[in-house]
A and B are shown apart, each in its own frame.
Chain A
Amino acid sequence: MPVFKTPFNGYAVRFSPFYEGRLLVATSQNFGILGNGRLHVLDIDPASGAIAEIRSFETADGIYDCAWSESHDSLAIAAVADGSVKLWDASLPPTANPVRSLHEHSREVHSTDWNPVRRDSFLTASWDDSVKLWTLDRPSSVRTFREHSYCVYAATWSPRHADVFASASGDRTARVWDVRDPRSTLVLPAHDHEILSCDWNKYDECSLATASVDKSVRVWDVRVPRAPVANLAGHGYAVRKVKFSPHRESILLSCSYDMTVCMWDYRAEDALIARYDHHTEFVVGVDMSVLVEGLLASTGWDELVYVWQHGTDPRAMP
């Protein structure tokens, strides 16, 4: 399957919700420690299977995360390490971009997520311990959620409720929020170590997954927060990102500092379905295509973006 070499270290990858073969990739120079960032818009040629770059946009600091707009097929957000959030229109040339630059976070913005239900707003989570809610029509954030006591690594919208989202933080808690309430509705001390990622089940509105430095992925029922529904052990280092499958209720995908991507079925006794060790450095970004079942993408610090069908070897050339 196709491979794309990025000039900088990969940080995040996202499939377009509008086009089957379109990808957004966020990268940062020097492992995101110091240097520039670049956002790539990539297309997979359906005939040859090769990945080609449509556009790329440069930023003055590394890009840690990116997300496609759910309302406009060419609009994308980048979470930039200098604390800014930038909106890009992939149909416009780099000179006409970014179309918006929102600077409110005081530290690195680590994650961003577009509201998939109402489609008019997006969240950003930052190392300044806060989560912010933004809409396209306003120049400043609509709300700021401050409760976490350390870096917030992720904020993810519920796929069912237009106002509900979850956040994951280095303060070892995951929190569930309703944007209409000033305080979080649930504090989930999900792990004994930093929590780096969280994601909602697309088929079960109460099911939330968390990924932690303790090497595990846990699946929770937010109505019964006392104990996890499942504890998925198998990664050798901190789990950087976790995603629920858009097609199968019990399937999750995770990537880790142990340089592997793992697929899990949290209902099965042998939960680990597949382990992909195609990367040669930390794997930092993964995604599953909504439009093509089983199509996976990953990127990492080895400066490579892989797109492959589940069950095939990501390194195999077409």
Chain B
Amino acid sequence: METAINRQRVLLQHLQPPSSSSNDPSMLSASICAAGDSAAYQRSSCFGDDVVVVAAYRTPLCKSKRGGFKDTYPEDLLAAVLKALLDKTKLNPNEVGDIVVGTVLAPGSQRANECRMAAFYAGFPETVPVRTVNRQCSSGLQAVADVAASIKAGFYDIGIGAGLESMTANSVAWEGSINPKVNTLQKAQDCLLPMGITSENVAHRYGVTRKEQDQAAVESHRRAAAATASGKFKDEIIPVTTKIVDPKTGEEKQVTISIDDGIRPETSLSGLAKLKPVFKKDGSTTAGNSSQVSDGAGAVLLIRRDVATQKGFPILGVFRSFAAVGVDPSVMGVGPAVAIPAAVKSAGLQIEDIDLFELNEAFASQFVYCCKKLELDPAKVNVNGGAIALGHPLGATGARCVGTLLNEMKRRGKDCRFGVVTMCIGSGMGAAAVFERGDGVDELRNARKIQSQNLLSKDVR
């Protein structure tokens, strides 16, 4: 043991910074590393200036035009989650630096206004600003990343990244005429492809079979049904009290929606096999193996670590990295296969280090392709189902996935340290973000108990 201490002393001498050290030799000292010996080290939290997620909630996701929110105004969905964030965390709304909402289909200015109004309904004062962001299907995640970036930049310490989509109120549409110049450039032209066609392209180009796609859909429903049955979503879902109009009688009824209504536990391979391809006669993309058209909202509260600690907020997760990438628009679904490695690399990790993935199931074709391409373990991907079962309210999905991921990581415990949220993006892009579980570096609970302090790695006996 004495040898070890002497060795440490010699090596620590090498690290004494020349100029200042001569009068203060105590500046550097050995400390216990909370990470496992082979784990990637936490490199940014020593000054408490990394960005942490304190809470993440969402509304239930409901089928558009037929589901629970068919008669609910979009801003009411957003207001519900924003209000829940305040109520559940007891956060002082005056301290929020910005609310960024990812939203896709609604007209830009109108939706920006609706979001501002939602903040008022939720109880935010006029002094808290609101803005929207649109990166198509990853808008919710982009909102979270934008808030994290702003906190890192020092614009503010507390921010909310949210997402909102009512596909009942707004549908996919093109306004005005299409510029004929588009015929001169293939890539530009490909941006106009319906998403279903890009899914067919992925299936065709990368050889994803109809059976594989249907299997993925069955699994998504099975997992989502199991998660709902066991109450896993209760931690993240905010029940929304709203009205629903009976389409026949026109009778208005007050209801409280608290579960996702798109999940079909009875989904089977034989049932899905009967469905006809929607986008191409001999294609493989059906209504059963595509994401559902839904309404919903989600919100994520992000705070700089030292502020969160000072205010006594629990740390649910740490925002580690984000990457958005571009891919061929005609096979936009491959986005995650490019975005995941980029985000994981910038977090200083390897894909094997990731314990859990929320990979948005826009279409089973692209979901299956991305998992195969990156050799992801199916037991780590969408463990509580995905958009095929739950629904894909475009702008809200990113924020929804952050909550689902972090809550599952919390349940799984210390062995689940890093998670990734990722999705493909219409017009040929992909986005991914890496999160780390909040207590991974705060306490030493994942380390073997140290009997006596020897300033060495925990593996030393």
* B and A form one assembly: yes
Using CB atoms and an 8 Å cutoff, list the residues of chain A in contact with chain B.
Answer: 30-35, 81, 108, 127, 151, 170, 192-194, 196, 213-215, 237-238, 240, 257, 280, 303
Contact A127 B4 (CB under 8 A): no
SS class, residues of chain A in contact with chain B? loop
Min C-beta distance of A58 to chain B, whole Å: 17
Instruction: Assess A34 versus B18: contact at CB under 8 Å? Given A127-B10, A280-B40, A280-B348.
Output: no
Contact A30 B460 (CB under 8 A): yes
Residues of chain A with a CB closer than 8 A to B18's CB: 192-193, 213-215
Mark out the residues of chain B between 195 and 212 whose CB falls within 8 Å of any chain A CB in the assembled complex: none
Q: Is B443 an interface residue (CB 8 A)?
A: no
Residues of chain B with a CB closer than 8 A to A192's CB: 18
Mark out the residues of chain B between 1 and 39 whose CB falls within 8 Å of any chain A CB in the assembled complex: 3-4, 7-8, 10-11, 13-18, 37-38
Chain A CB within 10 A, most for which of B8, B14, B17, B460: B14
Contact B15 A33 (CB under 8 A): no
Residues of chain B with a CB closer than 8 A to A303's CB: 38
Q: How far is the CA of A34 from the CA of B457 in the complex (A)?
A: 9
Q: How far is the CA of A81 from the CA of B10 in the complex (A)?
A: 13
Q: Is B41 an interface residue (CB 8 A)?
A: yes
Q: How far is the CA of A238 from the CA of B16 in the complex (A)?
A: 8
Instruction: Assess A237 versus B7: contact at CB under 8 Å? Given A30-B459, A30-B460, A33-B456.
Output: no
Residues of chain B with a CB closer than 8 A to A32's CB: 7, 11
Residues of chain A with a CB closer than 8 A to B3's CB: 34
Contact A151 B10 (CB under 8 A): yes
Residues of chain A with a CB closer than 8 A to B457's CB: 30-31, 33
Q: How far is the CA of A127 from the CA of B4 in the complex (A)?
A: 13
Min C-beta distance of B386 to chain A, whole Å: 30
Instruction: Assess A213 versus B16: contact at CB under 8 Å? Given A34-B4, A280-B40, A280-B348.
Output: yes
Q: How far is the CA of A30 from the CA of B37 in the complex (A)?
A: 8
Contact A238 B4 (CB under 8 A): no
Q: How far is the CA of A237 from the CA of B40 in the complex (A)?
A: 21
Contact B15 A257 (CB under 8 A): yes
Contact B4 A33 (CB under 8 A): yes
Q: Would you give 6 A-B contacts (Cβ < 8 Å), ordered by A?
A: A192-B18, A194-B13, A194-B14, A213-B18, A238-B14, A257-B15
**Which chain B residue lies CB-closest to A151?**
B10
**Which chain B residue lies CB-closest to A32?**
B7
Residues of chain A with a CB closer than 8 A to B348's CB: 280
SS class, residues of chain B in contact with chain A? loop
Contact A30 B15 (CB under 8 A): no
Instruction: Assess A30 versus B456: contact at CB under 8 Å? Given A192-B18, A215-B18.
Output: yes
Q: How far is the CA of A151 from the CA of B9 in the complex (A)?
A: 12
Contact A108 B7 (CB under 8 A): yes
Question: What is the size category of the interface that chain B forms with chain A?
Answer: 20 to 34
Chain B CB within 10 A, most for which of A81, A193, A214, A303: A193
Mark out the residues of chain B between 313 and 336 whose CB falls within 8 Å of any chain A CB in the assembled complex: none
Q: How far is the CA of A147 from the CA of B152 in the complex (A)?
A: 53
Q: How far is the CA of A151 from the CA of B38 in the complex (A)?
A: 30
Contact A170 B13 (CB under 8 A): yes
Q: How far is the CA of A257 from the CA of B37 in the complex (A)?
A: 18
Residues of chain B with a CB closer than 8 A to A193's CB: 18
Min C-beta distance of B172 to chain A, whole Å: 39
**Which chain B residue lies CB-closest to A303?**
B38
Contact B40 A35 (CB under 8 A): no
Residues of chain B with a CB closer than 8 A to A215's CB: 18
Q: How far is the CA of A193 from the CA of B20 in the complex (A)?
A: 13
**Which chain A residue lies CB-closest to B455?**
A33
Contact B41 A280 (CB under 8 A): yes
Mark out the residues of chain B between 162 and 189 whose CB falls within 8 Å of any chain A CB in the assembled complex: none
Contact A35 B7 (CB under 8 A): no
Contact B7 A81 (CB under 8 A): yes
**Which chain B residue lies CB-closest to A127?**
B10
Min C-beta distance of A231 to chain B, whole Å: 13
Instruction: Assess A213 versus B13: contact at CB under 8 Å? Given A33-B456, A35-B460, A280-B41.
Output: yes
**Which chain A residue lies CB-closest to B5?**
A33
**Which chain A residue lies CB-closest to B345?**
A315
**Which chain A residue lies CB-closest to B30?**
A33
Chain A CB within 10 A, most for which of B7, B38, B40, B456: B7
Q: How far is the CA of A196 from the CA of B18 in the complex (A)?
A: 14
Min C-beta distance of A228 to chain B, whole Å: 16
Q: How far is the CA of A240 from the CA of B460 in the complex (A)?
A: 25
Q: How far is the CA of A33 from the CA of B40 in the complex (A)?
A: 20
Residues of chain A with a CB closer than 8 A to B460's CB: 30, 33-35
Q: How far is the CA of A192 from the CA of B456 in the complex (A)?
A: 30
Q: Besides the contacts A34-B4, A35-B460, A280-B348, what 4 more A-B pairs have beta carbons closer than 8 Å?
A: A30-B456, A196-B14, A213-B16, A237-B17
Chain B CB within 10 A, most for which of A31, A33, A193, A257: A33
**Which chain A residue lies CB-closest to B454?**
A34
Q: Could you give, for residues 422-461 of chain B, a 1 whenever the CB lies within 8 Å of some chain A CB and a 0 otherwise?
A: 0000000000000000000000000000000000110110
Q: Which 10 A-B pairs have the closest CB atoms?
A: A34-B4, A238-B14, A214-B18, A30-B457, A33-B4, A33-B7, A34-B460, A213-B14, A193-B18, A33-B8
Residues of chain B with a CB closer than 8 A to A194's CB: 13-14
Instruction: Assess A237 versus B15: contact at CB under 8 Å? Given A34-B4, A280-B40, A280-B41.
Output: yes
**Which chain B residue lies CB-closest to A62?**
B7
Residues of chain B with a CB closer than 8 A to A151's CB: 10
**Which chain B residue lies CB-closest to A214?**
B18
Residues of chain B with a CB closer than 8 A to A237's CB: 15, 17
Min C-beta distance of B421 to chain A, whole Å: 24
**Which chain B residue lies CB-closest to A236?**
B17
**Which chain B residue lies CB-closest to A28?**
B7
Q: Could you give, for residues 283-319 of chain B, a 1 whenever the CB lies within 8 Å of some chain A CB and a 0 otherwise?
A: 0000000000000000000000000000000000000
Residues of chain A with a CB closer than 8 A to B10's CB: 127, 151, 170
Min C-beta distance of B90 to chain A, whole Å: 39
Q: How far is the CA of A35 from the CA of B37 in the complex (A)?
A: 14
Q: How far is the CA of A214 from the CA of B8 in the complex (A)?
A: 19
Min C-beta distance of B434 to chain A, whole Å: 15
**Which chain B residue lies CB-closest to A213?**
B14
Residues of chain B with a CB closer than 8 A to A31's CB: 11, 457
**Which chain A residue lies CB-closest to B460?**
A34
Residues of chain A with a CB closer than 8 A to B14's CB: 194, 196, 213, 238, 240, 257
Residues of chain A with a CB closer than 8 A to B41's CB: 280
Q: How far is the CA of A238 from the CA of B37 in the complex (A)?
A: 23
Contact B13 A34 (CB under 8 A): no
Min C-beta distance of B450 to chain A, whole Å: 14
Q: How far is the CA of A192 from the CA of B348 in the complex (A)?
A: 35
Min C-beta distance of B130 to chain A, whole Å: 39
Q: How far is the CA of A193 from the CA of B13 in the complex (A)?
A: 10
Q: How far is the CA of A32 from the CA of B9 in the complex (A)?
A: 12
Q: How far is the CA of A151 from the CA of B10 in the complex (A)?
A: 9
Chain B CB within 10 A, most for which of A32, A108, A213, A257: A213
Mark out the residues of chain B between 27 and 84 whose CB falls within 8 Å of any chain A CB in the assembled complex: 37-38, 40-41
Residues of chain B with a CB closer than 8 A to A280's CB: 40-41, 348
